[in-house]
Amino acid sequence: MIVVALIFIVAPSDEAYVFVMAVLTTGLLIRGVRNIVFYFTMARHMVGGKMILAQGVIVLDFALLTGSMSDVPKIYILLYLVVLHAFSGIVEILRALEARRTVLGPWKMKFTHGIVDFLLAISCFVYIKQTHTALIIYSIGLLYSAVMRIANSLRRTTFILTE
């Protein structure tokens, strides 16, 4: 994510949109297939396993939709990316608020990540007519998300084990 974001910031081009869509399609396709395979191997025996199947099917549908958007104008691609970014930000904010109510954990980092994602989506929407500026804003958001994921993976977590 960091390398792709830096490439888009340093050298935004017309082919960048096709590359963004290809990377997004591949990532969504892998995640959807992974969830479906996980459902059929393990999650069908779990409580809430059908939710994993539904998530896999929905993500797979988004992957197919994203892959079919290769011939549409750039503004629609950017609008699609803005909507995905805003939705991701809202979901992250809601997860942080739920974590704040239910568990004692680091909800502030998730909340900040969601706010920044949503604000970047709004700023990208404001500059949507200037496609290179919107791509740079989207790349900054991609870079921020990558750094936040790395920081989240390096953070120390506590495990509660019961016998």
SS3 of 162, please? coil
Ranges of each domain in the chain: 2-154
6, 146 contact by CB (below 8 A): no
Q: Is 116 exposed, middle or buried (0-12, 13-18, 19+ CB in 10 A)?
A: middle
pLDDT at 37: 92
pLDDT at 104: 61
65, 83 contact by CB (below 8 A): no
- Which sign does the torsion angle of CA 15, 30, 117, 154 carry? negative
Q: Could you give the CA distance from residue 124 to residue 21 in angstroms, rounded to a whole number?
A: 17
pLDDT at 120: 84
**Residues 6 or more apart in contact with residue 114 via CB below 8 angstroms:** 88, 89, 90, 91, 92, 93, 94, 95, 96
pLDDT at 60: 93
Rg for the chain (alpha carbons), in Å? 18
pLDDT at 57: 93
Q: pLDDT below 70 — which residues of the chain?
A: 12-15, 104-105, 157-163
pTM over 0.85: no
